[in-house]
A and B are shown apart, each in its own frame.
Chain A
């Protein structure tokens, strides 16, 4: 098929505005799959995504659409994650596209991530056209939302398709708009191969599968390709395109096409996302600009609950990293938890997802320590440490000063909850930068916030204080000097390195007190009394006590029913096994995340 009949696009939206549902409808309407084959949401093929209702890993799908003008078009739809943590993945997916469909919920209007995603799309020079979704809802106000889009984003929206992806209303209009409003890919078929790697995947049969968008030239089986960043070259053993959830081999990928190549590559690191693929014999003169390297925003320690599973955890992390270049990790040792890894994530949701995937897909039982941000420690000797693990903080006498990361946050909120949200931002040491009324009832708040104040539960607090009517997006801004101290926890008088965290000096007492209270609730009663203490610089600032157990709750023995009694004792024993031994105290793994829940009683 010629270049003029290819449309490469993404669907972008705020979370829950209906992006995945629209993608499913497009797949349905373009007849790639029969109704019967349609799973609930074809693009979200990981269990985890389905349960959370979000799309984690960008994926692509190719469908064929017969337009009203009678001609057939190839649609390459590249799915993007909707959450703030994954801006990096969004931007790399967008780079492979020529346009984007902006889905806006016509009852809710523009949200923080709507804006963030549109800016990313415009940064990538994409043509964006809007679609007003959920018009079947009684609260839908498509006219108002269209106006809002024109006012706030500045793109034409009055004739935007009014649709209900859920009910299948208006999908044909979207398909026609894709043909008419998204440009065909440009690029020169006669030039040497120049293709962008926008994703990659490790498959145990095919090896590394490289997702590419052909900018110039073409690639076919048997070609020798070169990865320009690493300089490595390999023979292409397969080329193909993306069915729904499957790889469909074809003869050749030509200019403008989106597809994949396999080249018996074992190590995913050779195929960095953002790198340019070219022909080894006939290379292009210049690589594509690629992507900015993302830095991990949040770090935590991940340990196997069973120390013997250390190598399983290492293997699992290696495999996950194959499919998720934004995950970083390095080995570390904790006195309390043994051998594990310090892992870096794009944000807290990313952390959550990786943890769940490790537990679910790799069947690992994990102990996770409280997440923290990267602090810069300026020492008296002039050196600077990037601190990712609180346990590694140098002695205070060696520290000249410390810096913490600030983010620029945008919060969209109804005026009704404005006061509550401003108060929340103040509590989290926020500095107000701006406050713009988008319409009479909605405000865009701009704040600079310390990242360590938002990684724990800011999002939840925001939702609960606005009854779900606030949305939020942020990006890293700068490092600023700050008064920070390390808060240590002692359980039964033993220092527990895995529970230490860095905290703003003025919050240390409050945090320490709450931490002791939380741990008191998490640590079960033992046969002896257990003091729990919080300390800063060796000075105890808070204390709680877990009292000794005095009496079994279940002591009865039912005549000859010994099996039942035994099961009870086994359960008791199993419960013990799931805990971590700190000295003679058994600590449940949940306790290591106690710090996350300190502010949960809003």
Chain B
């Protein structure tokens, strides 16, 4: 393997948690941010295994990285630059929620080297935003977006959530059109997942989500989204991701292509060599021994790596490359997964071309069912 690496930084703070969210996050208010960032910087400082590598992508995720004073982001970047070679053309992303951009944000982020913003728009319909428990309004979205563009941030992703209870496909289309009109370089559309442990889940269990779209409505929404974005010049390159040409998120692609990555912060996962490990999600444990307590530490077998190659690689519309498989594992892809591939091709979900296997639109819609075929359980 080369000496490249992707870096993930977890910023587990939010102003308030959204009703659907089960990510690791704490209220930013009252939290001793200094102690957290000291721990985070210590974890970076003490990293040895991947030290000195070339970092192609850096991703600040959360939580809401934009809700902490921007200087913390700058400090983390400085710490990273001491440990890694962050190239000029590296993709450095920061997740941001509308309405949380501080006045000094644009300048400091620029200094820090942030060159891509992922904006959690989720909807341009204020009723839907409320239902999701978002703290911002459609007006905040436009304002934050304009501020970013004025400050020179041109590589911006907008996240959108579909299949929200109570939202009609007309509402969804209106949000989508509104986002397209803002002309971001990248759009992600996720259908809402009711995750256990969230207030939305409790509402669901209590029988409160009677207006949840059914499978057919969700499937119709997806087709509408694909068509709308295609017409606007956005290429679908992954199940939920669309971009203008050349603007695909390189950091996420690294995950799907099983490139090595190192995650810092509580709950952050890393893939280094054949080992995948995840930091503890317990904040106190993390602060006491940053990077020293793991929630998961797995040595992947070759079989597991081959399975991951399939179920991650096939998320991308271009699918998996036969030669890549051979180079990585020393086996022909058809020797390992020939039967499954044939079955899925025969049923009209998978196609083959230019030395690659990939799912068509029909296949991408039911990829979970299909990908399970590659798992040896």
For residues 524 through 546 of chain A, which have their beta carbon under 8 Å from a beta carbon of chain B? 525, 527-528
- Residue pair B377, A562 in contact (C-beta under 8 Å): no
Instruction: Please give, as numbers and ranges, the residues of chain B lying within 8 Å of A528 by CB-CB distance.
Output: 347
Instruction: Please give, as numbers and ranges, the residues of chain A lying within 8 Å of B349 by CB-CB distance.
Output: 527
Residue B261 at the A interface, CB < 8 A? yes
A563 and B276 in contact (CB under 8 A), knowing A554-B193, A555-B191?
Answer: yes
Interface 9-mer from A6-14, A52-60, A340-348, A573-581: A573-581
- Residue pair A551, B190 in contact (C-beta under 8 Å): no
- Residue pair A527, B375 in contact (C-beta under 8 Å): no
Interface 9-mer from B67-75, B140-148, B203-211, B263-271: B263-271
When the two chains form the complex, which single residue of B216, B222, B261 contacts A560, counting CB atoms closer than 8 Å? Answer: B261
Interface 9-mer from B129-137, B149-157, B228-236, B362-370: B362-370
Instruction: Please give, as numbers and ranges, the residues of chain A lying within 8 Å of B193 by CB-CB distance.
Output: 553-554, 556
Instruction: Please give, as numbers and ranges, the residues of chain B lying within 8 Å of A553 by CB-CB distance.
Output: 193, 215, 368
A557 and B218 in contact (CB under 8 A), knowing A527-B347, A563-B269?
Answer: no
For residues 558 through 578 of chain A, which have their beta carbon under 8 Å from a beta carbon of chain B? 559-563, 565-566, 568-570, 572-574, 576-577
When the two chains form the complex, which single residue of B59, B311, B312, B366 contacts A549, counting CB atoms closer than 8 Å? Answer: B366
Residue B61 at the A interface, CB < 8 A? yes
Residue A436 at the B interface, CB < 8 A? no
A444 to B235, CA, bound (A): 76
- Residue pair A551, B215 in contact (C-beta under 8 Å): yes
A562 and B375 in contact (CB under 8 A), knowing A527-B366, A550-B215, A569-B311?
Answer: no
Chain A: residues with Cβ within 8 Å of the partner, total of: 27
For residues 40 through 73 of chain B, which have their beta carbon under 8 Å from a beta carbon of chain A? 59, 61
A561 and B367 in contact (CB under 8 A), knowing A551-B218, A569-B372?
Answer: no
Residue B109 at the A interface, CB < 8 A? no
Instruction: Please give, as numbers and ranges, the residues of chain A lying within 8 Å of B311 by CB-CB distance.
Output: 565-566, 569
- Residue pair B369, A572 in contact (C-beta under 8 Å): yes
Instruction: Please give, as numbers and ranges, the residues of chain B lying within 8 Å of A159 by CB-CB distance.
Output: none
Distance of A64 from chain B, by nearest CB (Å): 55
Residue B171 at the A interface, CB < 8 A? no
- Residue pair A557, B366 in contact (C-beta under 8 Å): no
When the two chains form the complex, which single residue of A550, A555, A563 contacts B368, counting CB atoms closer than 8 Å? Answer: A555
Instruction: Please give, as numbers and ranges, the residues of chain A lying within 8 Å of B219 by CB-CB distance.
Output: 550-551
A-B residue pairs, 6 tightest by C-beta: A550-B219, A551-B219, A560-B269, A572-B372, A573-B377, A552-B368
A–B Cβ pairs within 8 angstroms, 21 of them? A527-B349, A549-B215, A550-B219, A550-B366, A551-B215, A552-B365, A555-B190, A555-B239, A555-B368, A556-B190, A559-B59, A560-B263, A560-B271, A561-B278, A563-B269, A563-B278, A566-B308, A566-B375, A569-B374, A572-B368, A576-B372
Known A-B contacts: A549-B369, A563-B276, A570-B372. Give 16 more (CB < 8 A): A527-B369, A549-B215, A549-B366, A550-B219, A551-B222, A555-B191, A555-B240, A557-B256, A559-B61, A560-B268, A561-B278, A562-B312, A569-B311, A569-B372, A569-B374, A570-B377
